[in-house]
Chain A
Amino acid sequence: MLGAVGGFAHGPHAEEGEPRSAAVTTTRVLAVRLRWYERVPWRRVVLVVLGVAIVAVVVVGTMKTLGLPEAQRYTGQNWINFVARGISQGAILAMIAIGYSLVYGILKMINFAHGEVFMAGAFSSLFFADAYARSGFLDRHPVAATLICVAVAVAASVLTAILLERLAYRPLRSAPRLVPLIAAVGASLFLQNAFRGFFGPQPRGYPRPQVLGGQLSILGVPFQRMQVLVFVVAALSIVALTFLVTRTKTGRSMRAVAEDREIASLMGIDVDRTIVVTFAIGGVFAGIAGVLYAMTFEQVQFTMGFRPGIAAFTAAVLGGIGSISGAALGGLLIGLLLNVGPALFLTGFGIPSPFSLRDAFVFLVLVLVLVFRPGGLLGTGEPEKV
Chain B
Amino acid sequence: MSVPLDAAAPAATADRRPVLELRGVSTHYGLVSVLRDVDMEIFPGEMVCLLGGNASGKTTTLRTILGYVQPSEGQVLLDGEVISGLPTVEIVRRGVSMVPENRRLFGSMTVRENLLLGAYLRTDRAAVEADLERVLETFPRVRERLGQKAGTLSGGEQQMVAMGRALMADPKVLLMDEPSMGLAPVLVEQVFEIIRSIRALGRTIFIVEQNANMALSIADRGYVIQTGQVVLADTAENLLRNPLMREAYLGEL
Chain A residue at smallest Cβ distance from B104: A263
- What string of 1s and 0s marks CB contacts (under 8 Å) between B51-89 and chain A? 000000000000000101000000000000000000111
Q: Are A267 and B92 in contact (CB under 8 A)?
A: yes
- What string of 1s and 0s marks CB contacts (under 8 Å) between A231-269 and chain B? 000000000000000000100110110011011011111
| A259 surroundings in chain B (CB, below 8 A) | 106-109
Is B93's beta carbon under 8 Å from chain A?
A: yes
| B117 surroundings in chain A (CB, below 8 A) | 252-253, 256, 267, 269
Is A385's beta carbon under 8 Å from chain B?
A: yes
- What string of 1s and 0s marks CB contacts (under 8 Å) between B82-122 and chain A? 00000111001100011010001011110001001110110
| A266 surroundings in chain B (CB, below 8 A) | 66, 88, 92, 97-98, 100
Q: Are B106 and A268 in contact (CB under 8 A)?
A: no
Is A270's beta carbon under 8 Å from chain B?
A: yes
> How many of chain B's residues touch chain A, expressed as a range?
20 to 34
Q: Are B109 and A269 in contact (CB under 8 A)?
A: no
> If the complex has contacts A252-B113, A269-B120, are A263 and B92 also in contact, measured as CB distance less than 8 A?
no
Q: Are A255 and B108 in contact (CB under 8 A)?
A: yes
Most chain A C-beta atoms within 10 Å of own C-beta, residue among B66, B88, B109: B88
Nearest-Cβ distance from residue B250 to partner chain A, whole angstroms: 31
Complex CA gap A249/B107 in Å reads 17
| A249 surroundings in chain B (CB, below 8 A) | 120
Is B169's beta carbon under 8 Å from chain A?
A: yes
Q: Are A268 and B109 in contact (CB under 8 A)?
A: no
| B66 surroundings in chain A (CB, below 8 A) | 266
Q: Are B108 and A385 in contact (CB under 8 A)?
A: yes
| A260 surroundings in chain B (CB, below 8 A) | 104, 106
Complex CA gap A385/B113 in Å reads 16
| B87 surroundings in chain A (CB, below 8 A) | 265
Name the one of B68, B104, B113, B121 contacting A268, with C-beta atoms under 8 angstroms: B121
Q: Are B109 and A252 in contact (CB under 8 A)?
A: yes
Chain A residue at smallest Cβ distance from B66: A266
Chain B residue at smallest Cβ distance from A385: B108
Nearest-Cβ distance from residue A274 to partner chain B, whole angstroms: 11
| B88 surroundings in chain A (CB, below 8 A) | 265-266
A contact set with B: CB distance below 8 Å: 249, 252-253, 255-256, 259-260, 262-263, 265-270, 385
Q: Which 6 A-B pairs have the closest CB atoms?
A: A268-B121, A268-B92, A267-B120, A265-B88, A267-B117, A268-B120
- Using A253-B117, A262-B104, A270-B89 as known contacts, list a sample of 4 further A-B pairs with CB atoms less than 8 Å apart, ordered by residue number in A: A252-B120, A255-B108, A268-B120, A385-B108
